[in-house]
Amino acid sequence: MLNIGVLNQGIVIDHIKVGGAMKIYTYLNLENIDVSVAIIKNARSNKMGRKDIIKIEGTLNGINLDILGALDHKITINIIENGEIIAKKNPKLPDYVDNVLKCKNPRCITSVESVPHSFKLTDKEKGIYRCVYCEQSSKSVPDTITKI
């Protein structure tokens, strides 16, 4: 397995579904935050076969990491301090998310009017969210994440 240095302080987002790392990178707006980021794509995983990983050296202030559960509910978040994992958590799926997922139904009111893209969790097992306006589903790790 490819290794990218050990973090001293930061977080490791592990067990990301293959192809999902860039989407989470985009959602967290990591490009514009003063942190060092390593993205590992298509890494071997005993549990998943293949996975993506994001390692972030530094602090992410004011970001609700549970929101990431709406993007990929199988991820693990490791909090690192002084080179040690001090906490490991699986984000809970929030019951509602606003402006995280984007409704892709062309018949939805969100496609023509400026209203929040609001989704409700309807299937905890499968991590399925549905648009509160049209009930279109959006699974975790959508094909596109648009900053809304």
Partner 1 sequence: MRHIISPTDLTLKELDDLLNLAEDIIKDPKKYSDAYPRKKLATLFYETSTRTSLSLEAAMLNLGGSILGFSSGDASSASKGESVADTIRVISSYADICAIRHPKEGAPYVASLHSSIPVINAGDGGHNHPTQTFTDLLTIKNLKGRFDNLTVGFCGDLKFGRTVHSLIGALSRYNNIKFVLISPEELKIPSYIKEQVLDPQNIPYKEVKSLESAIPSLDILYMTRVQKERFFNEEDYIRLKDTYILNTRKMSLAKEDMLILHPLPRVNEIAVEVDDDPRAVYFKQAQFGVYVRMALIMLLLGESEGRPIC
Q: Which one of the spans 60-68, 76-84, 87-95, 103-111 is the region binding partner 1 (CB under 8 A)? A: 103-111
Rounded to 5 degrees, what are φ and ψ at 46? -65, -35
Question: What letter would DSSP give residue 111?
Answer: G
Q: Output the DSSP codes for 127-146.
A: TEEEETTT--EEESS-S---
Q: Which one of the spans 3-11, 15-23, 83-91, 104-112 is the region binding partner 1 (CB under 8 A)? A: 104-112
112 lines the binding site for partner 1 (CB under 8 A): yes
Who's near 116: CB < 8 A, 6+ residues apart? 98, 99, 148
Query: Residue 5, Cα to own-chain centre: how many angstroms?
Result: 22
139 lines the binding site for partner 1 (CB under 8 A): no
Between 2 and 148, whose beta carbon lies closer to partner 1?
Answer: 148
For residues 41 to 60, the per-residue mask of contacts with partner 1, x marking binding by CB under 8 A and - elsewhere, is: --------------------
The size of the interface with partner 1 (CB under 8 A), counted in residues, is: 22
115 lines the binding site for partner 1 (CB under 8 A): yes
For 23-37, what is the HEC assignment?
HHHHHCCHHHCCCEE
Q: 73, 2 in Cβ contact below 8 A?
A: no
Tokens of 53: 């990983």
99 lines the binding site for partner 1 (CB under 8 A): no
Between 64 and 122, whose beta carbon lies closer to partner 1?
Answer: 122
Can you tell me which of 45, 76, 90, 136 binds partner 1, judged by CB under 8 A?
A: 136
- Bridge partners (DSSP) of residue 89 are 77
105 lines the binding site for partner 1 (CB under 8 A): yes
Residues that bind partner 1 (CB under 8 A): 105-115, 122-123, 128, 130-137
